[in-house]
Structure 1
Amino acid sequence: MTDGTDEPMVFETVLDAPPEKVWRALTIPEYLARWLLPIEAQPLTFSGRQEGLAERIDWTLVAEEPNRRLTYRWRESGEGAVQDAAESLVTFELDPLAGEQTLFRLTHTVPVRAANDNGVAMMMAA
């Protein structure tokens, strides 16, 4: 039986920078736009048109632990978005390593919708 979520996608790499520097790249809009997607407005809204992604990706901050963990709710919209796409959670985790390095972990969790789901639960959540 499923718990309502799919297996998350997890990506890990070691970065040659301390967690504080990586945190700035995740939280300062000008820096974030350099490596992720161009930011159009606040709250965080990214434009993925040039990268072949959804026209808009809206992010809402869910939780943060400075220099350690950051979680956003992500929803695609506009041209190129998956029809009836559910919101997903994107979590960045930073673990300090020796030598001013950081273990960077990105986890993307997409809720699984049952085959007979007619969207009532999502309407009730709103």
Structure 2
Amino acid sequence: MTTPDALVFECTLDAAPEKVWRALTVREYLERWLKPDGAAEVDMAMVSAEENKSLTYRWRESGQGAILGAEDSLVTFELTPTADGGTWFRLTHAPVAVPVAANSNVAMAMAA
């Protein structure tokens, strides 16, 4: 299920799901793909995996370039084989907890 605050990216890749899977699970390949020079450091921990089908990492940016006050988020990769041997690729980046806006009408709990 995708939350309203999730970012979703979908495309077709010319590589088989097994090759895309390696790019998402072999540390050197993953860092080369997801951590370009000058990007914020990313702390990642695998949450769940179904080989060659889906993979979810808990994600938190840190260091220079990170968004201040950024919370953990979940990044899920879904891989579906296509008829021509490629991969339908879906990436969903969703916050773990959606913060309440300062101007929200949601009542705040008061400590007793």
TM-score range, shorter chain: 0.7 to 0.9
Decide whether the 8 Å contact of 1:71 with 1:92 is kept in 2.
yes
Partner of residue 19, structure 2:
21
Decide whether the 8 Å contact of 2:47 with 2:57 is kept in 1.
yes
The DSSP-based 3-state class of the residue aligned with 1:113 is coil
Report how many aligned residue pairs link the two structures.
99
Pairwise CA distance, 1:17: 1.4
- Identical aligned pairs, as a percentage? 57
Q: Deviations over 1:63-82 (max 9, x none)?
A: 00000000001011122221
Alignment of 1:115 onto 2:101: yes
More helix by share: 1
In the TM superposition, 1:55-70 aligns within 5 A as 56-70=41-55
Pairwise CA distance, 1:6: 4.6
> Structure 2: any 5+ residue segments left out of the alignment?
103-112
The TM-score normalised by the length of structure 1 is 0.71
Structure number with greater Rg is 2
The TM-score normalised by the length of structure 2 is 0.79
